[in-house]
Amino acid sequence: MNRRDLLKIGGLAAAASPLLVRSAFAAEEPILFGVPYPMSGNYAANGKYGAQGAKLFIDYEKSAIGRPLQYKILDTQGTPATAVRLVQDLLEQGKARFFIGPLISSTTLAVGDALNKLGGVMISTAGADEITGKDCKRAMFRWSVPTYGAIRETIGPLIKAHPNAKRWYTITPQYVFGEGLLKATKDILKENKLELVGNSYHSLSEHEFSGYLTNAMAQKPDVLVLLNFSTQSSEALRQAVSFGMKKNTIILMAWASGLEQFQSLGADLCDGVYFGVQYWHQIDSPANKELVKRTQATFHENPNYSLAGSYLGFQIFTTAIKKANSTDPAKVIAAMEGARYQGLTGEETIRKADHQVIKNYYLLKGKAKSAMKNKDDYADIIHSGQSFLSPEQAGCQMKA
């Protein structure tokens, strides 16, 4: 080989090397996930655990898809406008196209609409039926069971267990999530020829429930159903117990926020009360046992719903990105649609028609402190099941 040939080869290598360097760098560029959760305001405790779920997954699954994984917490403050602005800024900067959260239904709907227009995709743990119903969109997926299923799998079993409970009273937050739970409650009571003797609405800023409870007690209900969430449902339960309602009234918290809520309430308040939950750390599944093990090792506590939902959102996304061999949201969405996997609640399926994850919802009953086997053994799972409207019944017509 003469000198001219060597120079030619060297020139080709020099010309090619920048491309090779850029390609290798691109392969190593981190994939950033936006995590819009309420880190301040009424739902800050849930946001804290959502952030922990993100950290846990990234710490254990850094090489899940062969590229570095990162996340950025976005404090939505529990308001749609703030959430949309933060998500939009991150996406338009080209930094993130995948989002896990938000927690609140109204915020989820607003963010989902923005992402659908901007080309991102989101997995949420919010509950309003509209998310996978009339407002469903290609950009939105939902892990949590909708309000319809939550009511069917809590009030339904209670009707069977307490056939003499004829009179029901509800306390409801006045926004899309509360309205969804209330409608589902009215429907199932009507089907079973039971009477809703009253309902009290309250705002998202309410902390004092004595007036609502006084109204409830005046109607002498057999069952009090709390349709609010997080700190508001905790305060409503505390005040109901202080009014002596546990003595002659069955109490159901239809949508409990998880283990941290039991910890804040304590066993004495929870004893004998029914709770509906999306997730419980004692679920007997391989994936959940691994999550419990990891959470205990990292945070020295058991996982709760907010942590679990965030963690699983990362698992669903990364599995789909790997399957699609792409970070193009359209290709990732296609990989997620119809996916079956071993989730925290057992086998879970992402329904293609409306992007709803098909999974169990759980009914717990609080146990006495003397019956607890360990510090987090607050309740027994007494029922689990799946109730979902079909996409057509829910009104989903998937929009591009």
- The CATH number assigned to the domain holding 331 equals 3.40.50.2300
With a cut of 50, say whether residue 9 has pLDDT above it: no
Task: Show Cβ contacts of residue 129 under 8 Å, excluding neighbours closer than 6 positions.
Answer: 146, 147, 148, 180, 184, 389, 394
- The pLDDT score that the predictor gives to residue 10 is 40
Same domain, 33 and 130: yes
Report yes or no on 23 lying in a domain.
no
Report yes or no on 89 lying in a domain.
yes
Report yes or no on 392 lying in a domain.
no
Same domain, 169 and 303: no
Same domain, 174 and 253: yes
Report yes or no on 291 lying in a domain.
yes
With a cut of 60, say whether residue 138 has pLDDT above it: yes
Total residue count of the chain as it appears in this document: 400
**DSSP per-residue string spanning 111-137:** HHHHHHHHT-EEEE----GGGGTTT-B
- Mean pLDDT across 171-178: 94
Confidence of residue 27 (pLDDT cuts 50, 70, 90): low
Report yes or no on 18 lying in a domain.
no
CB 181 within 8 A of CB 395: no
- Per the structure, the complete domain to which residue 196 belongs is given by 149-282+361-385
Same domain, 200 and 251: yes
- The pLDDT score that the predictor gives to residue 66 is 87
**DSSP structural state of residue 30:** P
Confidence of residue 187 (pLDDT cuts 50, 70, 90): very high
With a cut of 70, say whether residue 194 has pLDDT above it: yes
With a cut of 90, say whether residue 18 has pLDDT above it: no
With a cut of 50, say whether residue 301 has pLDDT above it: yes
Report yes or no on 397 lying in a domain.
no
Neighbours of 293 (CB within 10 A): 11
- The pLDDT score that the predictor gives to residue 399 is 66
Strands 69-75 and 31-37: parallel
pLDDT > 90 fraction of the chain, expressed in percent and rounded: 84
With a cut of 50, say whether residue 5 has pLDDT above it: no
Closest among 46, 54, 20 to 127, alpha carbons compared: 46
- The pLDDT score that the predictor gives to residue 41 is 86
Same domain, 112 and 159: no
How many domains is the chain built from? Answer: 2
Burial label for 159, CB within 10 Å (0-12, 13-18, 19+), is: middle
Same domain, 48 and 108: yes
Bridge-partner residues for 141, per DSSP? Answer: 123
Same domain, 188 and 240: yes
Report yes or no on 17 lying in a domain.
no
pLDDT > 70 fraction of the chain, expressed in percent and rounded: 92
Confidence of residue 400 (pLDDT cuts 50, 70, 90): low
- The pLDDT score that the predictor gives to residue 94 is 87
Same domain, 288 and 322: yes
Average pLDDT, rounded, for the chain: 92
Confidence of residue 46 (pLDDT cuts 50, 70, 90): confident
- Mean pLDDT across 262-274: 97
With a cut of 80, say whether residue 23 has pLDDT above it: no
Same domain, 379 and 239: yes
**Between 290 and 67, where is the model more confident?**
290
Report yes or no on 396 lying in a domain.
no
For 23, 182, 201, 222, the CA distances from 174, given in Å and listed in that order, are 52, 10, 6, 23
Q: How far apart are CA 359 and CA 388, in angstroms?
A: 9
Which structure tokens are listed for 370? 């003397």
Closest among 281, 276, 341 to 313, alpha carbons compared: 341
- The pLDDT score that the predictor gives to residue 15 is 36
Same domain, 265 and 327: no
- Mean pLDDT across 206-232: 96
Same domain, 374 and 340: no
Q: Which of 100-104, 164-168, 329-333 has the lowest mean pLDDT?
A: 100-104
Same domain, 287 and 196: no
Q: Which regions of the chain does DSSP assign to beta strands (E)?
A: 31-37, 69-75, 98-100, 121-124, 140-142, 167-173, 195-202, 223-226, 250-253, 274-277, 340-343, 346-350, 357-358, 361-366, 379-385
With a cut of 90, say whether residue 43 has pLDDT above it: no
- The pLDDT score that the predictor gives to residue 165 is 98
Summarised one tens digit per residue, pLDDT across range 384-398 is: 999 999 999 999 998
- The pLDDT score that the predictor gives to residue 64 is 82
